[in-house]
Amino acid sequence: MAPTPPPSPVQPAPCDAPRPAGAGGTLAVAVLGSTGSIGTSTLDVIAASGGRYRAALLAAHTSVAALLEQARLHRPEWVVITDPGAAATVGATALPAGTRLAVGPDALDELLRGPGIDRVVSAIVGAAGLRSTWAALDAGKTVALANKETLVMAGPLVTRLAAERGAALVPVDSEHSAIHQALRSGGSDEVVRVILTASGGPFRTRAAETLAAVTPEEALRHPTWSMGPKITVDSATMMNKALELVEARWLFDLAPEQLDVVVHPQSIVHSMVEFVDGSVVAQLGPPDMRLPIQYALSYPRRHDGPARRLDLAQGLRLEFEPPDPRRFPAVRLGHEAARRGGTAGAVLNAANEVAVGAFLAGSLRFTDIAEVCARILDRHEFRAAPSLDDIRRLDSWAREEVVQWSRS
Ligand code: NAD
Ligand code: MG
């Protein structure tokens, strides 16, 4: 691990002013990406909440059958299908009484801005999640943020928007939830560093020379977490930790030198914060996303919920080791993107998204993912203070570069 840097001031996270609950004390929740891994866990939390939360809007892209099934169970006011082609397959009688259908990302943004939504769970996968997160924050809503890509791509713009609109951003990512919780035990100027834990994924102990031959099936077999395919591959390369370093930098306004990563194969300690007096405060729990999701909905309070609990009576072994840079070159890219800021995060994220897609489709080797990302990050036309348009342009450029590279 890096030597301990001197303390530097840390601003409070842009996430300390959640809005009050709506009528009857029930929070009306919009679940974006409701058919995914985080989306379905969010619906578990809502169902177990005894009326604290209700699903007011469910949105998915193409998984129409699963979305309609969720609508029948949760009776939201709205279901939104962002892909118009998929929406065209919905029959007139498919929706339960009281639920209406909206189609496309513009319609979604408009509903999120409206008065019927108290909290937005942003759990769309990839860069596609940025626009709806932006719309919700622009309308001053509280966002429970799973879509880390939003902050990786446009962290400074997103946190500034939240501050200007009086919106709140509460992390769902388990590491950032742990950090958010640990930060509550000290002043922001007392934080020395933040240590993100990483499981190390399925290849933590595999010989580096053999990684080029890894198959998608092997990469999708995560030892501790059950997640969507994209983030599962990101965990196998540890690009997920790279993205999370950038996410943490912007979410908690940390200096790049304050960010550290440690591999912790049991995924029980979800991250830690070291304070000036040497205290290290950690948050622990079984690997179950329902806890950080619920925390993001209930913050600043806590209540009972469906997440699994630690059973210390069964015995508990916790191990920590530094990430191996030979096996996991992606981690360095995360430190680099966090240090450079500007357009580096957006380019790294876009290149990685396409590279992961190509790996899953069998047209790129596992080890090429980090390599192509490194090259594209090096070669891009860096901007230190980009606009959203600059970010979108470089996102498209990076995607095209990966396509060219995988053809060559
Ligand atoms: P997933 O693949 O299981 O689900 C993705 C959801 O997004 C689906 O509902 C899908 O319909 C929707 N979607 C996909 N493309 C879309 C588009 N273009 N427009 C609108 N909706 C679209 O993904 P997941 O694992 O649930 O991850 C969601 C987000 O949460 C990602 O940003 C991921 O990094 C983050 N996250 C996930 C976990 C986890 O445990 N799964 C943990 C931490 C953070
Ligand atoms: Mg995480």
| pLDDT score for 22 | 58
DSSP secondary structure letters along 314-331: G------B---TTT-THH
| pLDDT score for 9 | 33
Domain ranges in the chain? Answer: 23-172, 176-287+314-340
Backbone angles phi, psi at 256, to 5 degrees: -55, -35
| Residue owning the nearest CA to atom 39 of ligand 1 | 227
| Tokens describing residue 2 | 């890096």
**3-class SS at 372?**
helix
If one looks up domain 23-172 in CATH, what number appears?
Answer: 3.40.50.720
User: Which of 38, 44, 197, 244 is the pocket-test mutation for ligand 1 (most atoms within 8 Å of CB)?
Assistant: 38
| pLDDT score for 70 | 98
| pLDDT score for 189 | 97
| pLDDT score for 406 | 83
| pLDDT score for 6 | 37
Name the helix (H) or strand (E) containing 73: helix 64-74
Spatial neighbors of 309 by CB under 8 A, at least 6 apart, are 285, 286
User: Which of 133, 197, 227, 238 is the pocket-test mutation for ligand 1 (most atoms within 8 Å of CB)?
Assistant: 227
Name the helix (H) or strand (E) containing 60: strand 53-60
pLDDT along the chain (408 residues), means of 10: 38 46 81 98 98 98 97 98 96 92 98 97 96 98 98 98 98 98 97 98 96 97 93 97 98 98 98 98 97 98 97 93 97 98 98 98 97 98 97 98 89
- Ramachandran region of residue 50, left (φ > 0), alpha (ψ -120 to 50) or beta? left
Q: Is the CB of 148 under 6 A from ligand 1?
A: yes
Which atom of ligand 1 is nearest to 289's Cα?
A: 40
pTM over 0.85: yes
CA distance 309 to 42: 17
| pLDDT score for 18 | 55
Distances (CA, A) of 291 to 41, 46, 123, 140, 173: 9, 12, 15, 25, 10
Q: Is the CB of 128 under 6 A from ligand 1?
A: yes
